[in-house]
């Protein structure tokens, strides 16, 4: 009965490879997010999807391509991995609405290490 789940939890790969991270939420939320936490623990939003529509794209290299097949899933595909992509990637979800308090629920994170 996990609310927001991510797979895999750890991902170790070589530079230049392509990899994907999957995220699923069973909260019935309409909005999902990808955040990146760097080695200094700084968290920054990458993407936001509302009802499968891309809403926020924060100047992320186009090697990163999110895909939302339905409201409950948001995947992140990364092409041509670079050393600087090493980070923890968090998926989150929330139910958005006008003027509402909208807590974001975070997944456990995926630690990506690029060698």
Select the span of 16-24, 64-72, 77-85, 105-113 touching other proteins (CB under 8 A).
105-113
> Judged by CB under 8 A, does residue 34 bind other proteins?
no
Is residue 7 within the footprint of other proteins (CB under 8 A)? no
Please name the residues in contact with 107: beta carbons below 8 A apart, sequence gap of 6 or more: 4, 5, 6, 23, 25, 90, 91, 92
* Rounded-to-integer distance, Cα 31 and Cα 93, Å: 6
Q: Does 28 bind other proteins (CB under 8 A)?
A: no
Q: Quick check: helix, strand or coil at residue 76?
A: strand
Give residues in contact with other proteins (CB under 8 A): 31, 33, 35, 40-45, 48, 50, 55-56, 58, 88, 90, 92, 94, 96-99, 101-106, 108-109, 111
């Amino acid at each position: 009965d996990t609310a927001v789940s991510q797979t895999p939890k750890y991902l170790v790969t070589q530079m230049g490879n392509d990899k994907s991270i999957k995220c699923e939420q069973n909260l019935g939320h309409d909005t999902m997010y990808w955040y990146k936490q760097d080695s200094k623990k700084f968290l920054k939003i990458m993407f936001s999807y509302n009802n499968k529509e891309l809403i926020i794209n924060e100047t992320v290299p186009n090697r990163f391509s999110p895909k939302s097949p339905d409201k409950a899933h948001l995947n992140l595909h990364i092409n041509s991995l670079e050393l600087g992509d090493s980070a923890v990637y968090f998926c989150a979800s929330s139910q958005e609405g006008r003027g509402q308090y909208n807590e974001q629920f975070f997944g456990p994170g995926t630690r990506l290490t690029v060698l």
